Structure 1
């Protein structure tokens, strides 16, 4: 029996509404998802936070935000992909988590504002994510990063993009990635697991919501495509050492655990971290989950150092 943390209960009560985002258009739903700026005594002092435009393969430009800690030396780099079901999210939605990650991991964090579905369905968000990694690798010396210590990270759909980017980098002879840190990632578009049955309503990410996200991201015939559902990749041995952060009361819990087990079977070093009493989407919802977000960042920082 799951015992939710008090902050999870407060969040569920505060966000409970008869107007479900998955009954709205993506454009209407996005208007309800504005993330307030984080102000807190725990907010770190960084050397700089800068937003830049970069070009991607189809000639479009996307934004990246670069977080530099107060350290005057060449630093590791973490390329971060935000969550939001490929439909929501932007640089602001995980700004707090990226600030903390830069400070606690003593790393430069590059947050990627990939284009969103359904306006830009699969594979465009993935291509944006990969092109941003290549841009980081090509320009890493200009912002004080170490090309030999690149990590990819992300939450939810961003975790999905991070691990598929890591796979593509390994198989396409792309930038070398030394680690991936995945916060409750989407790794199998399959709504039939036990965790979907247990937590499919009123736990932060409803089953209907996940179906809505997936349908906007790609056609159903792609659901088992390994570049959409990386659990179905044939050879996971090419992936770098991995941390998977799993919220206990999350529809995605089972697939994340299966992914960790499959990585281990492929002789990939993997840590699966169980976060008791927490729900999907807690990361960077600082009004409710500041302590849990800081704890998560500290775990990732320890892992990547």
Structure 2
């Protein structure tokens, strides 16, 4: 059986707890509103995740209440395509500015969904809120999904969008030298991998990377995985299914572009902001990656939200609205403004 989640090559990773600089733990109890939401979801006695077809998984994500649109006014929303390595890559541009005469930072947002699901549509509420909170334009990437297009197809699409931003004169009011790569979960993995690829290829400038509960490799060896492998949304079963479908071989699993924690050299990467959730099996790998960046002398800011679960970044309105989710947007906006403004 092929090793999953970057277990191969563990010489380049550590399962030891994060350093005191990036302490990550969970609260005594999950946030009450989230507990109520999880209880309602668990009452739906459907098939296990492993029994679902790929089409059913994608339909479930598209129809999730946390994927529903919210009434967040945005001045300009436009669907486009960007030339990619194997065809056009869909993108959606969100811009909350009424005045686009000046060049501002731009955020490239890479959605989560375990590399096999998720879309521009499922993350519409996140991107609308992100441009509203930061004041910066957001480009959401519709990268190719596994297993039809396994690693590194999605990463190549994300990098193509980065290159497009660096060279296009077709988007008003952006400064490509102040590009932020950002993503949640699998999207956090791809954002980190895009930053690595840009560094290694001497590619487009990335000014900051924002990684929200990222899937960085080696989660099964951590305390967070043992604490949170069932009952909090993202389960060990779900992780097994998506990891099995993302990569095709042990060679892929040994590649640090698939699992960024495997990189033996993180020097020269852009500053990072990393957010994790206490009741998330991926909590510790986010903290450990922050630790690796710190050891490579990369400026890094780390925050753990102890009463939150995986996916809390979408909990900014119906059916679940929790203050820590809004605080996370404020934290990110403040970090970026402090760097750019």
What TM-score results when the alignment is normalised by the length of structure 2? 0.84
State the alpha-carbon separation in 1 of the partners of residues 169 and 203 from structure 2: 14
CA deviations on 1:247-295 (whole Å, 9 max, x unpaired) are 1111001111111111101101111101121001122244214544322
* Cross-structure match for 1:195: 224
* SS in structure 1 at match of 2:207: strand
Give 1:190 deviation, angstroms.
Answer: 4.1
Unaligned runs of 5+ in 1: none
Any conservation in 2 of the 1:153–1:180 contact (CA below 8 Å)?
yes
State the alpha-carbon separation in 1 of the partners of residues 39 and 291 from structure 2: 34
* Cross-structure match for 2:286: 256
Higher relative contact order (CA 8 A, sep 6+): 2
CA deviations on 1:23-74 (whole Å, 9 max, x unpaired) are 212112111222453334xx2x32201111122112x222100011124132
Residues 182 and 140 from structure 1, CA distance in 2 versus in 1: closer, same or farther, beyond 3 angstroms?
farther
State the alpha-carbon separation in 2 of the partners of residues 178 and 239 from structure 1: 9
Q: Where has structure 1 moved over 6 Å in runs of 4 or more?
A: none
* Cross-structure match for 1:275: 305
Within the candidate set 195, 206, 217, 2:235 is matched to 206
1:297 and 2:329 correspond = yes
Question: Which shows bigger deviation, 139-148 or 246-255?
Answer: 139-148
* Cross-structure match for 1:171: 200
Residues 24 and 37 from structure 1, CA distance in 2 versus in 1: closer, same or farther, beyond 3 angstroms?
closer
* Cross-structure match for 1:91: 120
* SS in structure 2 at match of 1:170: helix
* Cross-structure match for 1:57: 85
* Cross-structure match for 2:51: 23
* Cross-structure match for 1:132: 161
Residues 248 and 146 from structure 1, CA distance in 2 versus in 1: closer, same or farther, beyond 3 angstroms?
same
State the alpha-carbon separation in 2 of the partners of residues 22 and 144 from structure 1: 45
1:104 and 2:133 correspond = yes
State the alpha-carbon separation in 1 of the partners of residues 222 and 131 from structure 2: 35
* Cross-structure match for 2:106: 77
CA deviations on 1:174-233 (whole Å, 9 max, x unpaired) are 110010011000111442211111100011110111111010101351333211110111
State the alpha-carbon separation in 1 of the partners of residues 246 and 172 from structure 2: 33
Give 1:140 deviation, angstroms.
Answer: 5.1
* SS in structure 1 at match of 2:320: helix
* SS in structure 1 at match of 2:114: coil
Residues 198 and 140 from structure 1, CA distance in 2 versus in 1: closer, same or farther, beyond 3 angstroms?
farther
Aligned length: 301
CA deviations on 1:115-167 (whole Å, 9 max, x unpaired) are 11111111101111111111122215633201121110000000000010011
Give 1:12 deviation, angstroms.
Answer: 1.1
* SS in structure 1 at match of 2:313: coil
Give 1:169 deviation, angstroms.
Answer: 0.7
* Cross-structure match for 2:14: none
* Cross-structure match for 1:245: 275
Any conservation in 1 of the 2:33–2:322 contact (CA below 8 Å)?
no
State the alpha-carbon separation in 2 of the partners of residues 199 and 2 from structure 1: 13
State the alpha-carbon separation in 2 of the partners of residues 151 and 49 from structure 1: 19
* Cross-structure match for 1:38: 69
State the alpha-carbon separation in 2 of the partners of residues 6 and 182 from structure 1: 25
* Cross-structure match for 1:14: 40
RMSD: 1.6
